[in-house]
Amino acid sequence: MKISKENIIIDENPLIREKSKAVDMPLSAEDKAILNDLYTYVFNSTIEEIAKSENLQPAVGISAIQIGIPKKLMAVVLKDEEGKEVVRYALANPKIISHSIEDAYLASGEGCLSVPDEHQGYVYRHARIKIKAYDLFSDKEIIIKAKDYLAIVLQHEMDHFNGILYYDRINKDNPFYADPQAICIE
């Protein structure tokens, strides 16, 4: 399936709140194809010419539920300032196996392909996490040690598996409360 902006389910659609199910291992050809399509979307979404011609909204991650598939599948791509890929994952059944007590948040707040309206405020997440998952690119179960921005991105995508959107985590009474114990990521 070629994913574009039209395929992305937005927050007014109740399907985005559905809980995702773990996929069977070894991965089926269908699940491999979904993971590959998720990765391709994220990778291409940051290349301006491709994003424009294929109607892609820029992203660093996407979960399968965002295209209407309630499976624990997600892709994450982080690039450096020159546009070179530095992190790429196409993950099945990711699970946090340990995390820091310390939290972190993005100074600019979070955004989401499935949330067209802006929701301002800080979203607190674990500053460091360890995830166990099957990775399509290495074709094996891996352990990911992530911190700071990568940890936030991974947790954001994994929240989708439970029907949680980033703005659910914003303090409604004081959205810009800056916890002095948390790491602020610029």
DSSP, residue by residue, 11-78: TTSGGGGSPPBPPPSSPPHHHHHHHHHHHHHHHHHTSHHHHHHHT----SEEEGGGGT--BSEEEEEE
**Burial class for 149, CB neighbours closer than 10 Å (0-12, 13-18, 19+):** middle
Dist. CA 72–CA 110, nearest whole Å: 21
Res 81: pLDDT: 77
CATH number of 5-185: 3.90.45.10
For 94-121, write each residue's pLDDT tens digit.
Answer: 999 999 999 999 999 999 999 999 999 9
- State which H helix or E strand residue 159 sits in: helix 148-160
Whole-model pTM?
0.96
Res 177: pLDDT: 95
Res 84: pLDDT: 80
For 113-144, write each residue's pLDDT tens digit.
Answer: 999 999 999 999 999 999 999 999 999 999 99
Closest Cα partner for 65 from 155, 159, 170? 159
Return the active site residues.
Answer: 157
Dist. CA 152–CA 143, nearest whole Å: 16
pLDDT in tens, the chain (186 residues): 899 999 999 999 999 999 999 999 999 999 999 999 999 999 999 899 999 999 999 999 999 999 999 999 999 999 887 778 789 999 999 999 999 999 999 999 999 999 999 999 999 999 999 999 999 999 999 999 999 999 999 999 999 999 999 999 999 999 999 999 999 999
